[in-house]
Structure 1
């Protein structure tokens, strides 16, 4: 976290399944809208936190299936594991806290006495979490009896029921809310608490997130009955918590605007493509805009018009160069000319492009070094490239424009070309 030298402008803490990720949207449109908004406007000075009930195994599996960004912090296994960055470095201080008054063997011994409980898969059993399935009609009765038995054994635990079927047993000090409170306290001690925090959820195991006093909260429109009931009983008159009108990541975008936390217009929501003009968000916005245009071009979602290609060429230095992951170097203008021939070649094939971890640094008065990861998905196959770009900027008629001077791409580890038929920027 050392790269963020001051307080985060905003820290978004979001559940994944049915909150950030909409499993009923095969096109992943709301997630892609959020991705573009975050990378364009927030990545450089804010924090993205994923808080999920998934174990590390299932979390990594989800990342292979959906066009997800890399969070700054990952809270997994219903708040029992906290890790940092792309390397997912564990927070050992949090582990020490959870070890207090916790004996996993006693939990297993007592739960074995309840035939209503069906143990979840081995991947979901974690050092500080024991997870079961239980029928909704029996859940409350089982939870009450189990709580008494564990208390009699001297165990200080928390039992969380969510999704109409999942029952998790954790140390009393664990949970999504406690993990967030721990992080906020940690940032406060370091002298850089987030200026604003927005928590986002859809189910019962997210309720604790909304209990943190200083946060804003959004229950997405598709929130489950258990979370809406909690809200009615505990926070109905709290103006800092809203029930969004939009599903999943769309509801998160809506909440950013509702609470006035920052820009909430995604580059994917702007009608123009080749030369749209949002309020200048810096070179990151130029990167998102360029790659979004390429996606729409290959999906044939815009008119096949030479004007668009010429506009792209105008945004590139005529002497600029492009290094393909294969090692082949060519003129930027030649790369754009190659794009012209690919119009509609991914139409109806589930093709999407998104960028991740966009970070830019000013290396002179008008020159930027931009590093990012470009992802492409085609059906169920993903591949990514690590990209380094040099952009120059100038102000024209009151608007700052950016010109690509160089782009160098290499395959990410484990990636390779989805389509070797053409070399494209």
Structure 2
């Protein structure tokens, strides 16, 4: 049941940095089955921004179509999910489930008459309803069979007809074909403002700032949220490029390592910050497409360096629980994260060559307990492991295999320099044909626990692997199960507007 779930935000550590991204053709390069740029983002996010960022996906997709994309792309599990062009807001609870925010739904109910809006749209034969899953409580979605001036004229007329019918609605045109009729208070920008407002009320405004990322017209209002800085990816649609040209001179969102400037924070109602000088550009037009552009912007705005410095400072002050907190803990935690992302996880994904890959950084008595329960001495008799030791049913690293890390955490392991890394290792094989990608298999997730000695160890990355254990994660206990459950809950078609079209 939908409820006010600000308690979810209260239960988690205050976020130091918030990243908000559209999915299709922004975070996900849909036409790339290898997902190279998305995997690079995943690695950067896991190694440099943990342990306290907030990852927000803001998509035009309904929960059902988000679940479909989740199955096809190596997406990380978001902390917050904004679906259906800002009309549905979900928070990930400590149990891993996604809970809708009923207080946001109540805001959108005001002045919204979905039946009346559908009746107005039905008068235009150029509007063809999208699939029934995309017709939501506060959103109606169509494909428009018109372009250029004809499209602009039709949309202007649609807005006028909705107003004349007394329907409080917003019309959003994106991708040159998609038309969404939303409740007046909805939209990606409004939903983000609502989320940031909750953080502000809880005294948890992110000190490291907020970066938004998009490629199409329904992303435009994200860039207008006070206090954010944004990335327009290189492959953006014409309508967002036009928006960028009209707004690129606006300042106030930050840029550079200083994060959000005081005047931007004040405009957003957030606590003011330090710093000085003139505000930098609030928007960046990336030279790279999709997630490559997001990574480019994270570096250009100084967010990567700032996040790493903040995480190091936090780790130095920690005691006992959580990130490694002994003297030298900053370097230990950072090295452990890099070791997992750059060395251990790729080695585990190497299939038949996993043992040999792990042995490259293994201590003399290091052992690998594989997902099928076999124990493999990585340096038996002082020699590095060789040959094929892949668990049954797991293919080799070639053939277009895709592997990534999620839910990475680092904890102290007693003695100085020892770190215990826990993470989820996900993988799926590449598709069989050109342009086809893989899918998350039911047994594609493994819980991994690795004990490392960091800071001058024998590994090439400044670490030494002492032990690593893999355990299959039951499908019912993965984030994939939570996404699937989300896709089955609520929403549905609207009588008279069910269509056969696709797209987002």
TM-score (normalizing by structure 2) = 0.71
Give the whole-Å Cα distance in 2 for the aligned partners of 1:75 and 1:106: 25
- Superposed displacement of residue 367, structure 1: 3.2
> Which residue in the other structure is 2:469 paired with?
408
Q: Which has the higher contact order (CA 8 A, sep 6+)?
A: 2
Q: Which runs of 5+ in 2 are unaligned?
A: 1-8, 252-280, 309-330, 431-437, 477-504
Moved more, 105-114 or 159-168: 105-114
Partner of 1:368: 419
Are the structure 2 counterparts of residues 406 and 182 from structure 1 closer, same or farther at C-alpha, using a change threshold of 3 Å?
same
Q: Indicate which of 49, 52, 55 corresponds to 1:45.
A: 52
Q: Which residue of 2 aligns with 1:294?
A: 347
Cα separation, 2, equivalents of 1:96 and 1:410: 43
User: Helix, strand or coil: the match of 1:396?
Assistant: coil
Distance 1:32 1:157 in 2: 38
Deviates more, 1:63-72 or 1:399-408: 399-408
Is 1:62 equivalent to 2:123 in the alignment? no
Aligned-pair CA distance for 1:93: 1.5
Check the 8 A contact 2:43/2:404 in 1, yes or no.
yes
**1:377 is the counterpart of 2:428:** yes
Change (3 A) 1:336 1:10: farther
Question: What CA deviation, in whole Å up to 9, does each residue of 1:253-304 have, x standing for no partner?
Answer: 11011111124999xxxxxxxxxxx99724222111224543786699xxx9
1:241 aligns with 2:264: no
* Equivalent residue, structure 2, for 1:184: 196
What do you get for the CA RMSD once the two structures are aligned? 3.1
Point out the structure with the larger strand share. 1
> Structure 1 residues 263, 340: CA separation in 2 closer, same or farther (over 3 Å shift)?
farther
In the alignment, structure 1 segments of 5+ residues that lack a partner are 267-277, 416-425
Shift of 1:59: 0.6
Tell me if the contact between 2:332 and 2:419 (Cα under 8 Å) persists in the aligned partners.
no
Q: Deviations over 1:232-273 (max 9, x none)?
A: 23344441101001111111111011111124999xxxxxxx
Q: Which residue of 2 aligns with 1:19?
A: 26
Determine helix, strand or coil for the equivalent of 1:26: coil
1:337 paired residue number: 385
- Quickly say closer, same or farther: Cα 1:337–1:396, change in 2 above 3 A: closer
Q: Equivalent residue of 1:170, what SS?
A: strand
1:161 CA drift (Å):
0.3
User: Which of 234, 251, 254 is matched with 2:296 structurally?
Assistant: 254
Contact kept, 8 Å, 1:280 with 1:400, in 2: the verdict is no
Q: 1:184 to 1:175 in 2, by over 3 A?
A: same
Q: Using the alignment, how far apart are the partners of 2:422 and 2:65 within structure 1?
A: 28
d(CA) in 1 for partners of 2:352, 2:244: 42
Report if the CA contact (8 A) 1:11-1:197 is conserved.
yes
SS in 2 for 1:262: helix
Shift of 1:394: 4.3
Residues 170 and 9 of structure 1: is their aligned pair in 2 closer, same or farther, counting only changes over 3 Å?
same
Deviates more, 1:164-173 or 1:331-340: 331-340
Q: Does the CA-based 8 Å contact 2:138-2:183 persist in structure 1? A: yes
Bigger mean CA deviation after superposition, 163-172 or 281-290: 281-290
Q: 2:123 matched to 1:113? A: yes
Instruction: Please tell me whether residue 203 in structure 1 is matched to residue 216 in structure 2.
Output: yes
Matched, 1:87 2:97: yes
Contact 2:216 2:237 in 1 (8 A): yes
Change (3 A) 1:388 1:62: same
Give 1:98-137 correspondences, 5 Å limit. Answer: 98-137=108-147
CA distance in 1 between partners of 2:344 and 2:468 (Å) = 13
Match of 1:355 in 2: 405
Q: Secondary structure at 2:422's aligned position in 1?
A: strand
Q: TM-score, normalised by structure 1?
A: 0.84
Residue equivalent to 1:389: 449
Once residues 381 and 185 of structure 1 are traced to their aligned partners in structure 2, the CA distance between those partners, rounded to angstroms, is: 36
Partner Cα distance (1:381, 1:206) in 2: 27
Q: Which residue of 2 aligns with 1:420?
A: none
CA contact (8 A) 1:299 1:351 kept: no
Aligned twin of 2:482: none
* 2-structure distance, mates of 1:118, 1:29: 35
Pairs aligned (count):
393
